[in-house]
Amino acid sequence: MPSRTDLISTDVELAAERIRRGGLVAIPTETVYGLAGDAENADAVARIFEVKGRPTDHPLIVHVADADQLHGWVARVTDEITALAEACWPGPLTILAERGPRVLDAVTGGRPAVAVRVPSHPMTNELLTRVGGGLAAPSANRFGRVSPTRAEHVLADLPGLQPGRDLILDGGACPVGVESTIVDLTVDPPQVLRSGAIDAADIERLLDTPVSGAAGPSRASGMLASHYAPTATVILAQDAGAAEIAAGDLRHGGRRVEVLDRTGDLVVAARELYNDLRAADREGLDALVVVLPPAAGIGHALRDRLMKAAAQPGPDHPSRGG
């Protein structure tokens, strides 16, 4: 009997074989791990939703090896796409564009636009080159949990992965740590739907046009208010002093509480964010008091994810996204 830990491997050719046979492979990327299947195999795409426990109306990003591979996935490789691709790919940017003929309905939930991205991770780039086509992949967490940034997170989250059929390609810890920036080029002006390591200001500069949604909360479809939430209650504090006061009050009430302050280095804060949130749950904390980073650069993405982690699912949002 193969054991669950047999799922974890560093063998890229084995991963390519699993994809070719219709299996799923958790792929390391610079942002977070993705749960990938052949984007043109309807059964593989259906299993992505099943294994993740995700409703089928939440569309998937198609990952390709490089911008030259976009033909067929998007309707037209426009000048805007080319400008962003040349500057940002491989890298943490997802582009929403009019879909091409290779895109299955199941990938976009029937929408006319498809999300495409060229990730940056040596193993996954090698895998994409060997497989040749597109890999449909959402983040490899169970629906409603925070995104995985380590192979062990994927193993813990996805009991539906089957040894011998699927694989977790272990590429170490994801260096960026938060999901890609999503920019919608199907609207005028272009709109940032989700913040990430590539700032809205970078996109404005590259497209030489103002973009909307630059500083607001994520709007990508399926991104509900209470995404990315751990089990421990996340409480946000404006500064370290306020965090200590809030934590002290809670401890006084008998709760297990820790303070998380990574405002000194926002790159490290992003890289460690999801591991920190998962650690709070592993340690059985009742609450994690987090000092909010400043709203600049990747601080926008951190604040966005932290606000979602702190939001409780209300009556209007009975489910969580992810």
Residues that bind ligand TXA (CB under 6 A): 29, 31-32, 34, 58-61, 94, 96, 108, 111, 113-115, 117, 119, 137-139, 179-180, 182, 220-223
**Judged by CB under 5 A, does residue 322 bind Mg ion?**
yes
Give the residue with the Cβ less far from ligand TXA, 116 or 289.
Answer: 116
Q: Which pair of tokens denotes residue 256?
A: 């297990």
Q: Closest-CB residue for ligand TXA?
A: 34
Q: Nearest 5°: phi and psi at 94?
A: -110, 130
Instruction: Check if the beta carbon of residue 190 is closer than 8 Å to that of residue 211.
Output: yes
Residue, CB closest to Mg ion: 139
C-alpha distances in angstroms, 309 versus 1, 114, 226, 274, 305?
38, 27, 6, 10, 6
Choose among Mg ion, ligand TXA, none what residue 34 binds, the Cβ cut-off being 5 to 8 Å by kind: ligand TXA
What interhelical angle do 79-88 and 200-207 show, nearest 10? 130
119 binds, among ligand TXA, Mg ion, none (CB under 5 to 8 A by kind): ligand TXA
State the binding partner of 299 from ligand TXA, Mg ion, none, CB within 5 to 8 A by kind: none
Q: How far is the CB of 1 from ligand TXA (least distance, A)?
A: 30
Per the CB < 8 A criterion, the answer to whether 149 and 140 are in contact is no
| SS3 label, residue 99 | strand
What does DSSP assign to residue 298? T
Residue type, 103: V
Given ligand TXA, Mg ion, none, residue 58, with its beta carbon under 5 to 8 Å by kind, binds ligand TXA
Q: Report the alpha-carbon distance of residue 36 to residue 33 in Å, rounded.
A: 9
Q: Which helix (H) or strand (E) holds 50?
A: helix 42-52
**To the nearest whole angstrom, how small is the minimum distance from the Cβ of residue 244 to Mg ion?**
32
Applying CB under 5 A, does 94 fall inside the site for Mg ion?
no
139 binds Mg ion (CB under 5 A): yes
Least distance CB 95 / ligand TXA (angstroms): 10
| Residues of this chain that bind Mg ion (CB under 5 A) | 139, 322
